[in-house]
């Protein structure tokens, strides 16, 4: 019998999850839930229903794991504890500063319902966190560096789109190559924010808009751009469609440490992602952790977990014997 | 109270473990055991005794985790089940084909003794296995590629040293750069053995030895060299000492997969190690897993484990709260 998955929220990430489920023969998409009018939403999996979010509770016994694909700002902090009482849940909550309180809320709800909740699953937080953590445990004396890109930051793209006179925008985060090389050489540099990444914006302006003013507003925007070297390119709608339709991303985590009685040996661990599609990759990771949530729940476990708490074997459809024989 | 570690076997790996313990404040080296005459062995940690291996059983209550630093061919298959009845044990058993039977033997012994045994810990098997396994679970449709080097293979160096007329030898495994590039481009090539690595040997010959015969014996040696393109350099003892004293190594594991409804997006995961000292890095990983063995044992668990079975948080001295706040 396959693991029955529900998807709550059908944007880029929800579609990434739907697509990932099709690559895992032990999984089955059971239902998609939306806040929109269900009949307006066309999904890709035949024979699977789309339901209004108000119907979620009636699926309590038909879904093994609910994957929450909403946003971290307002959706996930409310939805995750709410549904963790009824379902095993997974989310990609990525507001780093609020993870401790979110963990506590989900943990309380999941324990109450006897369910498993796995939060902050994806690639950062997620795979990058896992690599930072394991590398730090293996090389206790050293420094961690996280570089993102080259890739589209949806949050920064949205921020540019909110500027008046902007019709559409795409923001790329770009690692500073010279800084990456310093780290790879084991120099353990200390960086300011602007040393590690630059930001590159492609903007479609409304006709007659003051381009100089838009550029100035972008470059001085606090939190998003003010601490970075930013370049702004004004392009046409056609160019936007032709050259910037995808959502590529990636980046790398480097642990640069030393070992030896005199700390004379440098040791470098690098984990690197090169992604044609950020939401599909995140969706694929969510699905692997949904398998883990199901297995943990079958064992009778409950409460909140993160990627740190889950033995890797739980992510795989293979048995312990198969894993040891073929992947160890 | 710190975790009390014993080291059994004091070669390169044993010294690597000793050095790693000093970088972990929650750990303490309790004793070193050797098959040699203990008084002939000088260790680096003051105040710690060196004992003959026959004395191991008398340390049953003084050591929390015994790290076995012998060889995979003959030492570990015998020692690990033997000591798993008395101690929590860790080893770096790397004979891939014999892992299933080794797992079964250690599992039976550890269960009988109520202890934890963690086998095949290091970087391959170990960190590379972990990355192959997790990446395969996250990208179920794709291929895995493992490249080793550039680095010293001690097994291949030993094999060359056994040839008559050879005084000393060092063998470097070198990835074929063009093949690496094909993989990084997502081309998912199918390789023959010789497409992925070349082998480079530095040999000090005895005076008057037949160099052509030595070179021929190396290049045609079955299993070790016959399937590879091998180059042989004859050098002086001084050059060997000056240029080849270290044990650098490294390599990378790449998962190249696809996602999307039409499988139209390429996704690449790469895990890369660049190591000045192979035995010190392996020692550092063994020590992190020794911490995990200790924690699992404190929870009352017993039996054999591999890196697949251990939640990453067990490797760290930090609490769940600290990990979530700082590394997630």
| Percent of chain A as helix, strand, coil, to the nearest 5 | 40, 25, 35
Q: Two tokens at A214?
A: 């838009």
Residue closest to B9 by CA, chosen among B46, B58, B50, B65: B50
Interface check B1 vs A, CB under 8 A: no
Query: Which SS3 state, helix, strand or coil, does residue A36 take?
Result: coil
Residue closest to B122 by CA, chosen among B288, B245, B253, B302: B288
Helix ranges (H only) for chain B are 12-21, 75-84, 99-113, 127-138, 154-161, 177-184, 193-196, 211-219, 237-243, 278-298, 320-326
Residue A131: its chain B contacts at CB < 8 A? 271
Q: Two tokens at A84?
A: 């963790």
> Strand runs (DSSP E) across A91-228, as ranges?
116-118, 142-148, 151-152, 166-175, 197-205
Q: Two tokens at A17?
A: 């999850």
Interface check B123 vs A, CB under 8 A: no
Interface check B276 vs A, CB under 8 A: yes
Mutation target vs B (from A120, A257, A327; most B CBs, 10 A cutoff): A327
Bridge partners of residue A148, in order along the sequence: A251
Reported as a single tens digit per residue, the pLDDT across A43-61 is: 999 999 999 999 999 999 9
Interface check A275 vs B, CB under 8 A: yes
Strands A151-152 and B265-275: unpaired
Query: Which SS3 state, helix, strand or coil, does residue A258 take?
Result: strand
Look at residue B73 in the predicted model and tell me its pLDDT: 87
Q: What percentage of residues in chain A have a pLDDT greater than 70?
A: 100
Reported as a single tens digit per residue, the pLDDT across B83-117 is: 999 999 999 999 989 999 999 999 999 999 999 99
Strands A265-275 and A303-305: unpaired
Q: Two tokens at B185?
A: 């481009």
Residue closest to B72 by CA, chosen among B4, B148, B145, B158: B158
pLDDT in tens, chain B (328 residues): 799 999 999 999 999 999 999 999 999 999 999 999 999 999 999 999 999 999 999 999 999 999 999 998 899 999 999 999 999 999 999 998 999 999 999 999 999 999 999 999 999 999 999 999 999 999 999 999 999 999 999 889 999 999 999 999 999 999 999 999 999 999 999 999 999 999 999 999 999 999 999 999 999 999 899 999 999 999 999 999 999 999 999 999 999 999 999 999 999 999 999 999 999 999 999 999 999 999 999 999 999 999 999 999 999 999 999 999 999 9
Instruction: Count other C-beta atoms under 10 Å from residue B249's C-beta.
Output: 25
Burial class (CB in 10 A: 0-12, 13-18, 19+), A39: exposed
Give the separation between CA B16 and CA B193, rounded to whole angstroms: 31
Reported as a single tens digit per residue, the pLDDT across B200-215 is: 999 999 999 999 999 9
Q: What percentage of residues in chain A have a pLDDT greater than 90?
A: 97
Residue closest to B117 by CA, chosen among B95, B85, B94: B85
Residue A286 CB contacts under 8 Å (≥ 6 apart), including other chains:
A13, A16, A17, A20, A67, A69, A90, A92, A121, A122
Reported as a single tens digit per residue, the pLDDT across A67-77 is: 999 998 899 99
Polymer length of chain B: 328
Look at residue B1 in the predicted model and tell me its pLDDT: 79
Give the separation between CA B183 and CA B147, rounded to whole angstroms: 11
Contact predicate A309/B320, CB 8 Å: yes
Whether A261 sits inside 8 A of B19 (CB atoms) is yes
Bridge partners of residue A64, in order along the sequence: none
Task: Quote the minimal CA–CA distance from A14 to chain B in Å.
Answer: 12
Residue A10: its chain B contacts at CB < 8 A? none
Q: Two tokens at B155?
A: 């097994």
Strands B249-259 and B142-148: antiparallel
Mutation target vs B (from A293, A308, A309, A315; most B CBs, 10 A cutoff): A308
Give the position of tokens 């000292």: B277
Contact predicate B327/A132, CB 8 Å: yes
8-state DSSP, A206? P
Interface check A245 vs B, CB under 8 A: no
Whether A1 has a pLDDT exceeding 90, the answer reads no
């Amino acid at each position: 019998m396959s693991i029955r998955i529900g998807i709550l929220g059908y944007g880029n990430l929800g579609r990434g999850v739907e697509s990932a489920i099709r690559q895992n023969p032990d999984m089955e998409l059971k239902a998609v839930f939306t806040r929109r009018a269900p009949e307006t939403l066309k999904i890709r999996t035949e024979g699977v229903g789309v339901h209004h979010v108000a119907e979620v509770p009636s699926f309590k016994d038909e879904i093994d794991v609910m994957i929450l694909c909403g946003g971290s700002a307002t959706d996930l902090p409310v939805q995750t504890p709410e549904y963790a009482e009824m379902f095993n849940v997974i989310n990609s909550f990525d507001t780093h500063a609020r993870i401790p309180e979110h963990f506590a809320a989900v943990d309380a709800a999941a324990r109450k319902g006897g369910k498993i909740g796995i939060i902050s699953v994806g690639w950062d937080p997620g795979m990058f966190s896992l690599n930072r953590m394991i590398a730090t445990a293996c090389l206790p004396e050293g420094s961690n560096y996280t570089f993102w890109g080259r890739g589209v930051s949806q949050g920064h793209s949205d921020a540019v789109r909110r500027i008046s006179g902007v019709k559409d925008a795409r923001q790329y985060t770009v690692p500073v190559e010279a800084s990456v090389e310093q780290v790879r050489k084991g120099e353990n540099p200390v960086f300011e924010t602007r040393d590690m990444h630059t930001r590159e914006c492609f903007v479609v302006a409304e006709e007659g808009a003051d381009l100089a003013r838009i550029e100035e507003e972008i470059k001085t925007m606090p939190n998003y751009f003010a601490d970075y070297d930013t370049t702004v390119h004004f392009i046409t709608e056609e160019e936007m469609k032709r050259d910037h339709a995808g959502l590529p991303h990636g980046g790398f985590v480097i642990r640069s440490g030393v070992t030896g009685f005199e700390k004379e040996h440098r040791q470098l661990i690098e984990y690197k992602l090169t992604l044609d599609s950020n939401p599909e990759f995140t969706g694929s990771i969510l699905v692997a952790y949904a398998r883990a949530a199901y297995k943990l729940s079958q064992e009778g476990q409950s409460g909140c977990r993160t990627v740190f708490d889950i033995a890797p074997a739980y992510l795989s459809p293979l048995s312990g014997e198969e894993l040891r024989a073929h992947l160890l």
